[in-house]
A and B are shown apart, each in its own frame.
Chain A
Amino acid sequence: MITDPQDSSSGFTGAASRIITVWALLGGGLLLVVVLTNTFSIVGSVFGVPVPGDFELTEIGVGVAVFSFLPYCQLVGANVSADIFTSGASRRTIAFFTMLASIVALVFAGLLIWRMYFGMLDQKNYDYTTTILQIPHWMAFVPILISLALLALAAFVTLIRDLKVLSKG
């Protein structure tokens, strides 16, 4: 279930939670910018002046925004899981399983940072751009890598939380 990140708003985890939340809100802001671009494009095309390249701006904008949502998802436990088989399990057992999930998220975030960093270099070296506006794709990778770093941070925060529950018993 979704837990409120403000639960533990002290010290390191509190600061991390706030950064992650603000980052997700910035992503939400970007989504709104995409919304406005499309709205203008619709209104504009009625008068024969659509926003050029709205198609590729939407693709990149939504892509970048969604990456910024991932750390927040991890932080508040929004990634769906099936709890039917473990509904009768003890709090510790469940904390153990959640801990496994946090570790997987942490490893996956690390893996993606590593791989997508090289992905960014490829995009830059080979000069990948969008079709109409010719926006270099590597630029989108910069905020995405920050999002992934925050995903690792979020996974670390949830991992600590799980470990606390485990140690308290």
Chain B
Amino acid sequence: MADALLLGLGGLAVLIVLIAIRMPIAYAMILVGGGGTMMLNGPTLVLSQLKTLAYGQFSIYDLSVVPMFVLMGAIASKTGLSQALFRGANAWLGWLRGGTAMAAIAGCAGFGAVCGSSLATASTMGKVALPELRRYNYSGALATGTLAAGGVLGILIPPSVVLIIYAIIVEANIVTMFMAAFLPGLLAVILFLLTIAIYVAIKPESGPKGGVADRHEFIAATMGMIPVLIIFGLVIGGIYLGFFNPTPAAAVGVFLVLLFGLLQRKLVWPDFVSALKETASTSGMIYLIILGAELLKIFMSRVGLPQETAAWIGGSGLEPMTVLIVLLIALILLGCLMDSLSMILLVIPFFWPVLVDINGGIYQGADGAGFGMSTEDLKIWFGVLALIVVELGLITPPVGMNVFVISSLARDTPMIETFKGVMPFFGAEIIRVVLLVSFPAITLWLPRVLSG
């Protein structure tokens, strides 16, 4: 048994080395998972399992929402939805100091309501809002920092690809997770808006007032936001109220953005093709990581590492809250190196059993539970917390994908400025995590109300 554990730890070390030398994370997991299992139990076993493993993983029904939401976001970004959102938000907020940046945040939130990915939200809204921010002489740091941070809303506001994957790993209900993420997402929007207000109060020159929209423009711009409201209402509202399950809902969402694009005459053939290509590369990347994570899970289960980790932490006598906080900090640190999806797939299978153990088992009710809530609630609460901290990695140096994306759109702003501009938002996120840890009700209230 000890030998097997050593092999497992060795496997983790190799995994880190492979990731460090730019091996795509999916292939690093495939190599370690497949290779490790071969070393442990011989090659025939892995070879036999490969006959059906990939097909089985790729045809998981619950996962089918992922490519659909990716497609929905990809099409949405070509349809002029983003322009309409930004214009509408700007009509409401633009006249304030820092208002155009606030409008960008609101636009990101709106776009996040139809798009499941952070990068897509950052780049789509970046293209729309950066020129405007520039026009009103916003400082490079505030302009790019706002958009890099705003992109995170793409994943914090449902639909959210990472949240779907989390739900599948811990066997949570996707609908419940979507409900749980809603108020925390709204809280993020509020805190981001406050951040901008404080930022421009301290440095007024970085975010000048924009123009005041006249009555006609105000009405037209406001009306322009209605399609998004309708799509979000039908898709996410439909899921919340139970008109349909996530997969058909996502399908309806794709159908609606497609229809919207065609009606607006904004979606031309080359755009459509490039939306399909984007869906192909994003979905293919996600599924390959899922396959890699499954192979790694097989190896780790066979050496018994997750079981041992759970037993070890469970027996350490640490306070539940201490374990949770250490875990969240570890995820933030890991986020400096890895993308959020890989992190969720790599870390949650290890640590979810630990939390279940500490809480008192899978069927633990609220009474006498380690975290003072039932394991069902813990699953929801921890999922939202984990989602936030893994997404922080998108805006922290040295690897901050959102920052990279925005930098590539704003070539005149040095990347270091963007990282500086994003720091206040990082602070806001930490405040939000503290709030959500202290008041679990923010997360748990809506699912409870909506599920009756």
A contacts, CB < 8 Å to B: 2, 21, 24-25, 27-29, 31-32, 34-39, 41-42, 54-55, 58-60, 62-63, 65-70, 72-73, 76, 78-87, 94, 97-98, 100-101, 104-105, 108, 111-112, 115-116, 118-119, 122-123, 137, 140-141, 144
* B252 proximity list for chain A (CB < 8 A): 38-39, 42
Q: List chain B residues, Cβ under 8 A from A69.
A: 279-281, 283-284, 287
B residues 38-71 touching A (CB-CB < 8 Å): 47, 50-52, 54-55, 58-61, 63-64, 67-68, 71
Chain A residue at minimum C-beta to C-beta distance from B27: A104
Nearest-neighbour CB distance to chain B for A166, whole angstroms, equals 14
Tell me which of A35, A65, A108 contacts B27 (CB under 8 A).
A108
Known contacts: A28-B276, A81-B22, A112-B54. The answer to whether A72 contacts B251 by CB under 8 A is: no
Q: Is the interface of A mostly helix, strand, loop or mixed?
A: helix
B23 touches A38 (CB 8 A): no
Among A68, A105, A111, A115, the one with the most B-chain Cβ atoms within 10 Å of its Cβ is A115
Report Cα–Cα, A85/B20, bound state, in Å. 6
Given A62-B59, A101-B27 in contact, is the A94-B51 Cβ separation under 8 Å?
Answer: no
Contact B67 A31 (CB under 8 A): yes
A81 to B25, CA, bound (A): 5
Please report the total number of B residues contacting A with Cβ < 8 Å: 54
Give Cα A127–Cα B61 distance, bound, in whole angstroms.
21
B195 contacts chain A at the CB level, 8 A cutoff: no
Known interface pairs A25-B273, A27-B280. Does A79 touch B50 (Cβ–Cβ under 8 Å)?
A: no
B31 at the interface (CB under 8 A from A): yes
Sample of 18 A–B contacts (CB below 8 Å)? A27-B280, A38-B251, A58-B61, A62-B64, A62-B67, A63-B55, A65-B283, A69-B283, A69-B287, A70-B284, A80-B25, A80-B289, A84-B337, A85-B20, A87-B398, A116-B54, A122-B51, A123-B52
Contacts A85-B20, A122-B51 given; indicate if A80 touches B285 (C-beta within 8 A). yes
Contacts of B273 in A (CB 8 A): 25
Smallest distance from the beta carbon of B16 to chain A beta carbons, Å?
10
A149–B289 Cα distance when bound, in Å, is 20
B residues engaging A (CB < 8 A)? 19-27, 30-31, 47, 50-52, 54-55, 58-61, 63-64, 67-68, 71, 244, 247-248, 250-252, 254-255, 273, 276-277, 279-285, 287-289, 336-339, 342, 398-399
**Beta-carbon contact of A78 and B282 below 8 Å:** yes
| Chain A residues positioned under 8 Å from B254 (CB to CB) | 32, 35
- B284 and A82 form a contact (CB under 8 A): no
A62 to B61: give the CA distance in the assembly, Å.
Answer: 9
Which of B55, B244, B289 lies at the interface centre, i.e. has the most chain A CB atoms within 10 A of its CB? B55
- Measured CB to CB, the closest approach of chain B to A56, in angstroms, equals 8
- State whether A85 touches B54 (Cβ < 8 A): no
Residues of B within 8 A of A87 (CB): 398
Would you call A41 and B58 a contact (CB within 8 A)? no
B60 CB contacts on chain A under 8 angstroms: 59
A32 smallest CB distance to B (angstroms): 8
Contact A108 B247 (CB under 8 A): no
Q: B26 — which chain A residues lie within 8 A by C-beta? A: 79-80
